[in-house]
Amino acid sequence: MALNALITAILFILSSAYNIPPIWLISFVLYAGLSFTQLRKMGNLFGEALAIYAELGQLRAMLHHLENFHVRDAQLKALLDVFQNSDRPASAHLHRLDVILGAVSLQANPILWMMVNLVIPYDIFWGYLLSKSKGDLAVQLPIWLETIYDLEALGALAEFSALHPQHPFPTVTDSVNFTAVNIGHPHIPFDERVSNDFSFTRLGEMVIITGSNMAGKSSFLRTLGVNMVLAYAGSVVCAETFEVGMFRLFSCIRVNDSVVDGISYFYAEVKRLKALLDALKADDKLPLFFLIDEIFRGTNNRERLIGSKAYIQALADGHGVGLISTHDLDLVHLADDIPSIRNLHFREKIESGVMVFDYILREGPCPTTNALMIMQLEGLPVEMP
């Protein structure tokens, strides 16, 4: 098309200067037809360029900072290498997009835009450059974003460590070990946090945690899980000391139903527990560390007890360790028949008609319940036995 435009221009000049027949009209009509066809394919070039510019504009300041940020740490410098030692840095990509956007903004003036495109293939040229820029960005942008995600994660861990100088780094070992002294949940304020000791010493061990409502069962499972994630991420942990081997972490804590998919809470929980059992039996060098909160809560008492017993027996002495919280006190008797199972519990006490929780983890099954007390305290028509 550029050649067509050049021929048209030459023929027009010759026709004007030497009074020859206006044969340039033939090439001009041909050029106009080809241009119209190509412009229809290109669509709203200005809108497309503006959309890309707006998306990348959110990263402009960050990319500029990362390109010019000086570090001494070798690992951090290697992470920033994609920005600082690239053949075409991010700023060059953004500058090229600036130029293209400025050029195609001519579409905002329809009359001038039409006149220019009738003379030269203006939009086609800039459309080609935009297409090339999009191709380059399709390769580079995922790399930039992944690096930014890594930097944000490292920054969050560094800030967590700086804000909590009392938290130690964990000891990560190759042995099957989990030993935590005064471990607590990092999201609970220091003056409200109650820490506990907990340990596993061999594969196949399992703990059944019982306790009343709001006594701390679910929070304790989350406490162990979140500190393991922090440890494996290279962060400090919310504990006095924390020694952990390498495990695959698997949780069944927040299971949700789905109206859209037609999946009930119970069915979603069954699918999740089946996935856990498959993971435990998988041929993997790393053992599993599993956390199950309120097993089979989505069904009736009789079937929940039958299903829970069978499932816990299937987990016992497997290639992993784990904790299961439950309100079914009948499940604590499994420890009498399976040596690898032990019982722990949280409890509450009543003081002046008010429930008081100490959130201390104790040995053995829970000796108390509080569901009826909670109902009565909230004004429901129940009578205490």
Find all residues with CB under 8 Å of 206, minimum gap 6, and list them: 312, 315, 316, 321, 322, 323, 324, 340, 341, 342
- Reply yes or no on whether the pLDDT at 12 is more than 50: no
Average pLDDT value for residue range 11-28: 54
127 or 81: whose pLDDT is higher?
81
217 or 350: whose pLDDT is higher?
217
Residues 170 and 151: their CA atoms lie apart, in Å, by 22
Q: Which of 173-187, 188-202, 303-317 has the lowest mean pLDDT?
A: 303-317
Residues 104 and 136: their CA atoms lie apart, in Å, by 19
- DSSP string computed for 128-156: HHHHHHHHHHHHHHHHHHHHHHHHHHHHH
- Reply yes or no on whether the pLDDT at 289 is more than 50: yes
pLDDT, tens only, 211-264: 887 888 999 999 999 999 999 999 999 999 999 999 999 998 877 756 656 677
Phi, psi angles (nearest 5°) of residue 294: 55, 70
- DSSP string computed for 46-113: HHHHHHHHHHHHTTHHHHHHHHH-----HHHHHHTHHHHS-SS-HHHHHHHHHHHHHHHGGGGSHHHH
One-letter amino acid at 46 equals F
At residue 250, the pLDDT reads 93
Q: What angle do CA 257, 259, 263 make, to 5 degrees?
A: 50
- Strands of the chain (E only): list them: 171-172, 178-183, 196-200, 206-211, 241-244, 248-252, 288-292, 320-326, 341-346, 348-351, 354-357, 362-363
Percent share of the chain, pLDDT over 90: 35
Domain locations along the chain: 43-163, 171-377
At residue 20, the pLDDT reads 60
Three-state DSSP class for residue 28 = helix
Residues 118 and 35: their CA atoms lie apart, in Å, by 8
pLDDT confidence of 370, banded at 50, 70, 90?
A: low
Q: Which of 36, 191, 217 is nearest to 124 (CA)?
A: 36
Average pLDDT value for residue range 115-136: 73
Q: Which of 9-23, 80-94, 158-172 has the lowest mean pLDDT?
A: 9-23
At residue 25, the pLDDT reads 47
128 or 197: whose pLDDT is higher?
197
Residue that has been written with the tokens 């809560």 in this structure: 297
Residue that has been written with the tokens 């967590």 in this structure: 160
Average pLDDT of the chain is 80
- Reply yes or no on whether the pLDDT at 277 is more than 90: yes
Record: fold of 171-377: Rossmann fold (3.40.50)
- Reply yes or no on whether the pLDDT at 343 is more than 90: yes
Percent share of the chain, pLDDT over 70: 76
Torsion sign, CA atoms 41, 47, 49, 55: negative
Three-state DSSP class for residue 208 = strand
